[in-house]
Amino acid sequence: MRKRRVTLRDLADHLDINTSTVSRALSDKSKVMISPEVVERVRKAAADMGYTQNAAAYALKVGSTKTVGMIIPDLMNPVFPPIIRGIQSVLDQYGYTAFLAYSQNNQGVAHTEVEKLISRGVDGIIYAAAFRTDNVVDLCKQHGVPLVLVNRVVDRGDVDSVKVDDSLGISMAVDHLLELNHRNIGFIAGPQNISVSYIRLRAFMQTMAEHGLKVEPHRIVEAHALSETAGEDAMSLFLKKNPDASAVIASNDLIALGCLTALTQFGYTCPERMSVVGFNNMPYLDWFATPLTTVSIPHFRMGERSAELLLKQIKPDKAEFHEEVLLKPRLIIRKSTVALVPGKNRSKASRVS
C-alpha cells in the first residue's frame, strides 16, 4: 500500500503549533520571523517524519515551479554534457530542477518540445539547439517565457545569449596552419542555417584574406550535418576536388573525425599528408590514434553563464536590456597538425580519383 505523503498539517499537529509557523520555519526567507529554537524543532520533525515540499502547491502559492527546461540538439554529441553540468551546477544552488529534451537538430521537434515545457509551467528555457532563424524564440516571447541561447544564436539580437568567440577561434586555427607553412588550406563547413557554422566559415574566409590568400570555391565543402558521417562525406568530396591541399579546418570536432576517416579511405596519412584542425575540443580527443588539434571552448563555463543569465531574467525586477556573453576560446595543439616540408609531405601516393 502506498504511504501517505506527510503534510504541513501533520507537522503542525505533531508539534502542536500553527501550520503558518511550520511553513515559516521551513522557508529560508521567513524563518527569521520566528525563534531559532522553533525553527530547529520544526526542521528536525520534518526530517524525522520524511516531509518533502509539495512542488505543485508551492508553484500555486508563489507563481514559480522552480523548474527550467533545457533543449540540446543531440544527446550523443559529447560537447553538450559539460555544458549541461555547468547549467546544473548553478541551478542546484538555487533549488531549481531541470527538464532535459533534445531536438535531433530539427526545428519542428524543438518547437514541440518547447511547447511541452511551457505546458509544464517551467520558469525559463535554456536553448542550445537554435537555428539562425528559429520560431522557438517567437514561441517563448509569445508566452512570456524567459529564454537564453547557449552556444548557438539567432540572427536577431533581442535574445540573451552565451557563446564562444568563433571568429577568434578560427583565426587561431588559420594562423597555426600558416605558421606551419601551409597555404593550400581547405574548410569543411557545417550547415549554414546554424549560427556557429555560418560564423566559422566567414571567419575562415576573412582570416585568409587578411593574410593575402584567396580562397577558391573548391576549397570549401559544406557538410550536410554537424556529424562524423557528414564530415566523412564532405571530406571525400573535398579530396577529389583538391589533390594539392595540405591542410583542412573542420567546422567542429565530429566533422573533423569524419575527415580523418575519409583520409584513411583515400590512402592519406594524417598529419604527414594532410593536417587537420577541429573545433570544440570535445572530450577524449587526445585518446585517438591521432590526437586532434582543435579550438577549445569553455563548455562548463558556458553552461554556468547561461544559467546565471536565465535566473536574472526570471527575477521580477529583471533588466529590460539583453545580454550577450562572449567567451574566449583556446587553441589546443596536438598531433594532427605538422609543419609542411616542401617535397616531403606530398611524397606519399594517394588514391584520389
Read off the pLDDT of residues 129-155 as tens digits, 9 standing for 90 and up. Answer: 999 999 999 999 999 999 999 999 999
Question: Is the pLDDT score of 243 beyond 90?
Answer: yes
- Among 24-38, 114-128, 279-293, 320-334, the range scoring the smallest mean pLDDT is 24-38
Domain-located, residue 59: no
Domain-located, residue 335: no
Domain-located, residue 352: no
Residues 314, 290: one domain? no
Question: Which band of pLDDT confidence, cut at 50, 70 and 90, is reported for residue 350?
Answer: very low
Domain-located, residue 118: yes
Please give the C-alpha separations between residue 312 and each of 10, 58, 123, 234, in angstroms, as whole numbers: 36, 21, 11, 42
What are the b/e assignments for 325-344, b being 16+ CB within 10 Å?
A: beeebebbebebbbebeeee
Residue 53, pLDDT score: 65
Domain-located, residue 31: yes
Domain-located, residue 271: yes
Please give the C-alpha separations between residue 291 and each of 80, 339, 348, in angstroms, as whole numbers: 20, 16, 21
What is the pTM assigned to this prediction? 0.81
Question: Is the pLDDT score of 343 beyond 80?
Answer: no
Share above pLDDT 90 across residues of the chain, in percent, rounded to a whole number: 68
Which one has a higher pLDDT value, 4 or 122? Answer: 122
CA-to-CA distance for 166 and 203, rounded, in angstroms?
8
Residues 192, 310: one domain? no
Residues 40, 80: one domain? no
> Once rounded to an integer, what is the mean pLDDT over residues 93-99?
92
Residues 131, 189: one domain? no
Mind listing the pLDDT tens digit for each residue in 173-182?
Answer: 999 999 999 9
Cell numbers of 211, please?
Answer: 593574410
Domain-located, residue 261: yes
Residues 292, 318: one domain? no
Residues 38, 153: one domain? no
CA-to-CA distance for 26 and 28, rounded, in angstroms?
7
> Once rounded to an integer, what is the mean pLDDT over residues 309-317?
88
Instruction: Report how many domains make up the chain.
Output: 3
Residue 58, pLDDT score: 54
Residues 19, 84: one domain? no
Cis bond before residue 316 (omega within 30° of 0): no
Tell me which residue range forms the domain holding 172.
166-297
